[in-house]
Amino acid sequence: MDYRYELLDSELCYQGFFRLQRHHLRHMQFAGGWSPTITRELLHRGHAAAALLYDPKLDAVVLIEQFRIGAIEHPGGPWLTELVAGYIEAGESAEDVVRREVLEEAGCRVEEILPIHSYLVSPGGSVERMSLFCARVQAPADGSIHGLAEEGEDIRVRVLSVDDALERMHNGAIGSATPIIALQWLELHRRELSLRWGSKA
């Protein structure tokens, strides 16, 4: 397979917190030859980092709950149970973002951090890449409220036993991709993590 493509023309459609571009391009096809010219919109929203917070003494995870505009039409409503996460700013590493956001969104500190994966969030229309971690923490109080007022954040901490969190994932109560990926990783690596961090699991 000849994996070539040609970007023929681009135009800026919108520039705000996000940037939206329209590209006209063609690419080589699996059967050979060039595709016809196709048009695709591409959303630039930066790259992000997220962490599954794990307290080994409690064998519990620290998740957060907040309003999400992208879930406004979701049957369960727009308040989602998620991981601590944030966008990577200039000069920051993904780990820097996790340490900053854990303090801002959950009110605790990272004691140790392990990489899980790095993946494209929605490559059909966005360049965003997510760097995903597991971080050892001491769980804050369940129900405590955090976030930066100047960013319009209203974030509630949810401390759940690992078994409860996995059950919520399996029954669909946790429905966004990043926490599902992280919890599935935890389900596969729970014993390994308990040996590393001395969990009571």
**Residues classed as catalytic:** 151
Q: Could you tell me the end-to-end alpha-carbon distance of the chain, in angstroms, rounded to an integer?
A: 48
| List of residues 6+ apart from 186 with CB closer than 8 A | 52, 54, 61, 134, 162, 166, 193
User: Helices 177-197 and 162-170 sit at what angle, rounded to 10 degrees?
Assistant: 150
Q: How many CB atoms lie within 10 A of CB 19?
A: 15
- Backbone conformation region of residue 143, classed left if phi is above 0, alpha if psi is from -120 to 50, else beta: left
- Please state, in angstroms and rounded to a whole number, the distance separating the CA atoms of residues 93 and 90: 9
